[in-house]
Amino acid sequence: MILYNTLGQKKSEFIPHTEGKVNMYTCGPTVYHYAHIGNLRTYIMEDVLEKYLRYSGYDVTRVMNITDVGHLTSDADTGDDKMLEGAKREHKSVMEIAKFYTDAFFEDCKKLNIKTPDVVEPATNCIDDFINMVSALIDKGYAYFAGGNVYFDTSKLDNYYVFGNMNADDLEVGVREDVDSDENKRNKTDFVLWFTKSKFEDQALKWDSPWGVGYPGWHIECSSISIKHLGEYLDIHCGGVDNAFPHHTNEIAQSEAFLGHKWCNYWFHVLHLNDNTGKMSKSKGEFLTVSLLESKGYNPLVYRMFCLQSHYRKPLTFSYESLDNTAKAYDKLVKRISSLKNDGEVDKAKSEELDGKFREALDNDLNTSLGLTAVYDVLKAETNDATKRYVIEKFDEVLGLDLTKAEAEEASDLDSEIEELIAKRQQARADRNWAEADKIRDDLLARNIKLIDTPEGVKWKKIN
Ligand SMILES: [Zn+2]
């Protein structure tokens, strides 16, 4: 498989450290709020990568952290504690917030057919591991204690800007925006490994450490959790492109200083989801979540397909109009597949030939849009329906779109929802609540469902 590697900024053949095995690490969510669909784009594409590696025969172990110790609203060591903000907002404890939004995250993942990683490790489980790693970094001369905090000394590295796509100028911008720049740092790029002093007095979760009561910096989480579960050699580290700097840059700095050798060979970064105005932000306009899409009548898998239609290394522009187009395409595709008959033996030779096209697409830096084209090619292929269905079922192990089972489920869900609304409307009419009855009829009409009053009762049909 050819993969683009942010480290070196070019495509190359993927070769794991140990033949046949892939160690994969994913930066998990900070669980202080619902996940934005922009973040979920990253998890969808990582899921496809993992599933395709398995499809290709690799034995994959994937680990993800859950950031449940407060990390800061800015990715630099400044800003407010996100977890604490969430707790204040909702009048809950930090651990209640963490539990609630961890569950919410995995519910979203389930709806999007994102497989749960083999190991999911909350940061609060690993405080001793973080302390051990920070101690080792001090012993090796890569970290120093100043003003109550432990910092990583980036001047000890030969090359701090490992990805090459960031430089000191980019950092200047960040520093300028940061009014409270940290006087204790020896170098601008140094970052905190352990805090005992910070801007906020009321940090909720604190632990004892050799440097005083405090809490870990964010970056140490991922290095430590990855090494704990996947050992000294990591094959693929994934994340959103936002994380490349400073988060992943700092992960590499501390991991390689700690291990004394190269740590991770491939860095897989997924580009942003934008709206027409540019980058989507959580603070502007409508906060887009899976539940919001569902409340507007979208099947979450339509959003998954929307993501698969474009390449992970290109920014993707979101609009309801494009999502509607995907919804139509998805419905049509699922209908076509569900009409495939069970007409005999699977043609093995033909199925291998069709599979070859699919692999060719995904082997080329995970080209999922061509992977989807391969599904249409199967439908057009000259072979029997049983072969087509068999091949599409295989592809769907990677695509995760429920291509061979979606329609039946959806239809029955829709049926029962409409029947319920019709019953509600009948009750409203019996109560002479005409406004409510009309509203239900109009809402359904807006979803292209027309109600027909007949002597035998209310019937409905789909219109276009
Ligand atoms: Zn991370």
3-state secondary structure 435-461: HHHHHHHHHHHHCCEEEEEECCEEEEE
Cα 457 to ligand 1 centroid, rounded to whole Å? 58
- Of 395, 413, 294, nearest to 337 by C-alpha is 395
> What count of residues does the chain have?
464
Q: What is the pLDDT of residue 389?
A: 96
According to DSSP, the residues that pair with 30 across neighbouring strands are 67
Residues near 280 by beta carbon (within 8 Å), at least 6 away in sequence = 36, 38, 272, 273, 274, 288, 318
Distance (Å, whole) CA 294 – CA 322: 16
Residue 313 Cα, ligand 1 centroid: separation in angstroms?
19
pLDDT of residue 173: 44
**Ligand 1 mean position, distance from CA 199 (Å):** 23
Check if the beta carbon of residue 399 is closer than 8 Å to that of residue 372.
yes
CA of 421 to the centre of ligand 1 (A): 45
Ligand 1 centre distance from Cα of residue 224 (Å): 10
Q: Which residue from 248, 273, 252, 251 is spatially nearest to 261, judged by alpha carbons?
A: 252
- Report the pLDDT value the prediction gives residue 92, as an integer from 0 to 100: 84
381 Cα: distance to centroid of ligand 1 (angstroms): 43
Q: How far is the CA of 39 from the centre of ligand 1 (A)?
A: 13
pLDDT at 175: 46
CA 312 to ligand 1 centroid distance, Å: 19
| Token representation of residue 323 | 């999502």
Distance from residue 272's CA to the centre of ligand 1 (Å): 17
pLDDT for 91 equals 86
How far apart are the C-alpha atoms of 126 and 122, rounded to whole Å?
A: 7
In angstroms, what is the span from residue 259 Cα to ligand 1's centroid?
A: 17
What per-residue confidence (pLDDT) applies to 77? 53
Ligand 1: centre distance to CA 102 (Å): 16
Distance (angstroms) between ligand 1 centre and the Cα of 63 equals: 11
d(CA 197, CA 203): 10
Cβ atoms of 206 and 228 within 8 Å: the answer is: no
CB atoms within 10 A of CB 111: 18
Q: What is the pLDDT of residues 177-214, one digit of tens each?
A: 444 568 899 999 999 999 888 655 666 688 999 999 99
Hey, which residues does 195 pair with through a beta bridge? 215
How close is the Cα of 344 to the center of ligand 1, in Å? 49
Distance, in Å, from the CA atom of 72 to the CA atom of 83, rounded to the nearest integer, reads 8
pLDDT of residue 415: 77
3-state secondary structure of 81: strand
Q: How far is the CA of 231 from the centre of ligand 1 (A)?
A: 16
With b for 16 or more beta-carbon neighbours within 10 A and e for fewer, the 164-195 pattern comes to eebeeeebeebeeeeeeebeebeeebbbbbbb
C-alpha of residue 311 to centroid of ligand 1, in Å:
22
| Nearest to 2, CA basis, from 354, 358, 361 | 361
| Separation between Cα atoms, residue 207 and residue 272, nearest integer Å | 35
**Separation of 319 CA from ligand 1 center, angstroms?**
29
In which residue are the tokens 């790029």 written? 189
Separation of CA 245 and ligand 1 centre (Å): 11
- Would you give the DSSP letter of residue 114? P
Kindly state the tokens that stand for 356: 């070859």
Whether the Cβ atoms of residue 25 and residue 60 lie closer than 8 Å to each other: no
Ligand 1 centre to CA of 216 (Å) is 13
CA of 306 to the centre of ligand 1 (A): 26
The rounded Å distance from CA 26 to ligand 1 centre is 7
**17 CA from centroid of ligand 1 (Å):** 21
Helix 320-338 × helix 385-399 angle, to 10°:
140
Q: So what's the pLDDT on residue 178?
A: 44
Output the CA 55–ligand 1 centroid distance in Å: 26
Q: Are 260 and 6 in contact (CB under 8 A)?
A: no
CA contacts within 13 A on the Cβ side of 288: 21
pTM of the model: 0.84
CA of 42 to the centre of ligand 1 (A): 13
pLDDT averaged over consecutive 10-residue blocks of the chain (464 residues)? 96 98 96 93 98 98 91 56 79 88 97 97 96 98 95 95 70 46 88 81 80 91 97 97 93 97 98 82 73 95 98 95 96 93 93 98 98 98 96 98 74 77 90 92 88 82 74
- Sheet strands side by side (includes 264-270): 119-122, 59-66, 21-26, 234-240, 264-270
Interatomic CA distance for residues 140 and 199, integer angstroms: 29
Residue range 44-53, pLDDT digits in tens: 999 999 999 9
Give the pLDDT confidence score for residue 284 in this predicted structure.
Answer: 55
Distance in Å, CA 248 to ligand 1 centroid: 7
Report pLDDT for 448. Answer: 83
| pLDDT score for 411 | 60
Q: 300-308 vs 320-338: helix axis angle to the nearest 10? A: 100
Q: How far is the CA of 393 from the centre of ligand 1 (A)?
A: 33
CA of 67 to the centre of ligand 1 (A): 9
From ligand 1's centre to the CA of 144, what distance in Å? 22
CA of 30 from ligand 1 middle (Å) equals 10
Quick one: which of 329, 274, 275 has its CA closest to 298?
A: 329
